[in-house]
Amino acid sequence: MDAVEMLEEWMEDTTGVDVEKLKERAHKRKEEMDEWRWRSTAIAFAVGTIVTAASLRMRP
């Protein structure tokens, strides 16, 4: 039995309210992860820009 089958079997045993709550939590978590990805990308870009500027400034 793989994870998908286990999840489907578990979802059959839960009520509709529980499933809706879980879907809401999953949606919220996905939004938080997407926001974190954008932030980490922006941070990485900023650090790269600073390193590039510093290395170009130190060239003779």
Q: Residue 50 corresponds to which tokens in the numbers above?
A: 């600073």
Does any domain span residue 4?
Answer: no
- The pLDDT score that the predictor gives to residue 48 is 97
Assigned domain for 58 exists: yes
- Distance between terminal CA atoms of the chain? 64
Residues 6+ apart with CB under 8 A from 14: 22
Note down the domain range covering 50.
Answer: 28-60
| The predicted structure's pLDDT at residue 1 | 64
Pairwise CA distance, residues 16 & 13, whole Å: 10
- The total of structural domains in the chain comes to 1
Do the domain assignments include residue 60?
A: yes
Inside any domain, residue 39: yes
Contact between 11 and 19 under an 8 Å Cβ cutoff? The reply is: yes
Task: Judge whether 16 lies within some domain.
Answer: no
Is 14 among the domain residues? no
pLDDT at 13 over 70: yes
**What is the tens place of the pLDDT at every residue in 15-52?**
777 778 888 888 899 899 999 999 999 999 999 999 99
